[in-house]
Structure 1
Amino acid sequence: MTRPVMASRPVLGPPEPYTFPAVRRSSVGAGDVIAVDLPGQAFASVRLVHPAGAFTESEDQYGVAMLTGDALEDGQEGNGSLAPALERHGAEWESWVGWDSFVTGVDVPVNRIVDATRLLADALRSPAFRSDDIVRRRDQIREAFVLECSVPSSLAARAVGSQLFAGRYAVPANGGPKRLDAVDPEMVVDFHRRQLANVAGTLIVVGDLGKVDVEGLARSVFGDTVRAQPPSPAPVRGAEGAQPRIVVLDRPGSVQSALVLAHRAPSRAEADLPAAYGVGDVIGGMFGSRLNLLLREEKGYTYGAGARFDLRRNGGQFTASCQVETRHTADAVASSVAEIVRLREGGVTDDELATVRESRTVGLPVNYSKVWSVANVLIDIEVQGLPDDHIDRLRAGFDALTAEKMLDGAREYLRPDELVAVVVGDAEQVAGPLAEIGLGPVSQVDPDALWS
């Protein structure tokens, strides 16, 4: 049978406008509830958010929040008992600790949401916290961190904080091996008691909620807890050292170097997000970005180069990264800096502007087609104090971007004079050529001393 051949391709129409779904807020007891009803979505995401992120940790307990989050998965009976209990309801446990928040939750079929949410509440409020389980989890986090840092690109990425910041941001969220070893089971129990056990938090529920008693779910989670206290603004201090400068982490005999160029950036609340994110896209956030085209396509140094802004509640950072052959290390650093300067001085092209606007708006219906992706936006809104129509405002901001706004953003948010280049590679081969490019002084740092 011969299939008919189309005489011409169909003509694509303009993309449909996207509006983020309506957000419903309420208070139940000492807690707050954020709900989004998505008719037809038979799967639901339930998230409980506490303002107990890694940034709130005291200096002698770096890593306690992440360890507590991992230990919760051992459940009320210990030894990983939570996952099998949730599986009986087709549910999966979700938990992570960021700089600004402590998040727990479940993804579950809507028709089993009551039972799964009750298990979430039980796991969070009254975990077993057996000492041997906590020690096992601590060992796993430490071993995973050490293994990750055996990869040059991961080591470079994790070393950046220590070169940009003093204080909490200087140390990875998990505390790093040495500090994490000092966190004992009693510290975990105490952190849980103060920050989670009797603190309500904010419950986020997303899915087809037509037959769901959301307030009833909240009552089962909040019980007789007390209201969470908003985090106090905390100053962020910069690391000492010349700017710009180059830091080499020696990896003798390495045939490649992992590079990260970074500088401090404003907090989430201080930044013009469309301009900042747009600048990040142009310099390294897309396949057609300037750094990728230069270092991959033109020079053939790397399989890929990227850049991004990480904007947090108490400050942020800009990073650009790639991996290159050892002999190209110095030129890759110099070329990357020159490209950042060129964007800052000359702005974007019309094609780059159009690509940023399209990439940040056309895909929104797909980006937020899943319940968990909508829930993640609501977490961001809650943690960062953003308006409920944040996504719509962000979309409008990208639609309104101009070349002039992008140039202003590049000059505001790209700071080549403050760059720190972290290079993981063979110091004997790369230190000399790096000194010759004139970016700044070159020093060598012992990786084992980074997070002590």
Structure 2
Amino acid sequence: MKKTLANGIIPLHCQLKILIRWHLAAKSRIFLIDKPGSVQSILIAGHLAPPTSNPDEIAIETMNTVLGGSFTSRLNMNLREDKHWSYGARSTFIDAKGQRMFFAYAPVQTDKTMESMVEINKEIREILNDRLPTNEELAKAKDGQTLRLPGRFETKNAVLGAVVEMVQYGIPENYYDTYSQRVRALDTEDLSRGR
């Protein structure tokens, strides 16, 4: 390996990446790409979020599970089950060393585009301000996060992916050793810190 690296196939010296801290825009903006005749609109709402390695990551993950990270999430129940405007609405985070993207998205009926934008905005604002997850929502989120854990490590590639992710984002080596216990210990107070 040393011989291969010395031959210049992979550079031995790399410059460190400089992670820039972005500032939030003073106000929200809407970008519209009009496609006449489309039967659906794709809505994407985005926001900056803290790095993947932040100390409140488990609380943030859990809040997202309640908001849009699972089938029974608020966004999906609202737009799909209650309103019937979408086949599915979700929210997620894109992992990153520095600030990262949070986004909520939903394909919706074209004639319900504005109403769906209002509902997505409402759900995000409510979970951040005055409508924390209920005990039932919190219990479902905890179950979802902990019960899927064994499946996350079923293959060698899955284990390798988790190790790469831990190294890439500076996640402690023992992160998954205590993951279930830390998720199970969360309460609504912890979730309010993850907002």
**TM-score of the aligned structures, taking structure 2 as reference length:** 0.88
The Cα of 1:364 is off from its aligned counterpart by 1.8
Greater relative contact order structure (CA < 8 Å, 6+ sep): 2
Partner of 2:121: 337
Whole-Å Cα distance in 2 between the matches of residues 258 and 297 of structure 1?
Answer: 18
CA, structure 1 residues 255+242, in 2 after alignment: closer, same or farther (shift >3 Å)? farther
Whole-Å Cα distance in 2 between the matches of residues 245 and 267 of structure 1?
Answer: 23
Partner of 2:185: 400
Greater Cα shift, 378-387 or 273-282: 378-387
Per the alignment, in what secondary structure is the counterpart of residue 392 of structure 1? coil
CA, structure 1 residues 393+310, in 2 after alignment: closer, same or farther (shift >3 Å)? farther
Greater per-residue strand proportion: 1
Letter in 2 for 1:397: R
Per the alignment, in what secondary structure is the counterpart of residue 246 of structure 1? coil
Matches within 5 A, 1:335-414: 335-344=119-128, 345-410=130-195
Say whether 1:317 aligns with 2:98. no
**Structure 1 residues 99-142: Cα deviation after superposition (integer angstroms, max 9, x where no partner):** xxxxxxxxxxxxxxxxxxxxxx7xx998xxxxxxxxxxxxxxxx
CA, structure 1 residues 282+125, in 2 after alignment: closer, same or farther (shift >3 Å)? farther
Per the alignment, in what secondary structure is the counterpart of residue 322 of structure 1? strand
Identical aligned residues as a percent: 28
Matches within 5 A, 1:184-203: 197-199=9-11
CA, structure 1 residues 253+350, in 2 after alignment: closer, same or farther (shift >3 Å)? same
**Equivalent of 1:326, from 98, 110, 132?**
110
Say whether 1:291 aligns with 2:75. yes
Per the alignment, in what secondary structure is the counterpart of residue 91 of structure 2? strand
Partner of 2:50: 266
Say whether 1:300 aligns with 2:84. yes
8 Å CA contact 2:56–2:193 kept in 1: the answer is no
Q: How many residue pairs were aligned?
A: 194
CA, structure 1 residues 346+231, in 2 after alignment: closer, same or farther (shift >3 Å)? same
8 Å CA contact 1:265–1:315 kept in 2: the answer is yes
8 Å CA contact 1:258–1:321 kept in 2: the answer is yes
The Cα of 1:362 is off from its aligned counterpart by 2.1
CA, structure 1 residues 304+250, in 2 after alignment: closer, same or farther (shift >3 Å)? same
**Structure 1 residues 3-40: Cα deviation after superposition (integer angstroms, max 9, x where no partner):** xxxxxxxxxxxxxxxxxxxxxxxxx869xxxxxxxxxx
Greater Cα shift, 345-354 or 359-368: 359-368
Which has more radius of gyration?
1
Matches within 5 A, 1:158-307: 197-199=9-11, 226=12, 229=14, 231-238=16-23, 243-307=27-91
The Cα of 1:398 is off from its aligned counterpart by 0.8
The Cα of 1:359 is off from its aligned counterpart by 1.2
The Cα of 1:229 is off from its aligned counterpart by 4.3
**Structure 1 residues 371-429: Cα deviation after superposition (integer angstroms, max 9, x where no partner):** 1110001101111122211212433321211111112323xxxxxxxxxxxxxxxxxxx
Partner of 1:20: none
8 Å CA contact 1:276–1:309 kept in 2: the answer is no
CA, structure 1 residues 346+402, in 2 after alignment: closer, same or farther (shift >3 Å)? same
Structure 1: any 5+ residue segments left out of the alignment?
Answer: 1-27, 31-120, 127-192, 200-225, 411-452
The Cα of 1:269 is off from its aligned counterpart by 2.7
Partner of 1:214: none
**TM-score of the aligned structures, taking structure 1 as reference length:** 0.40
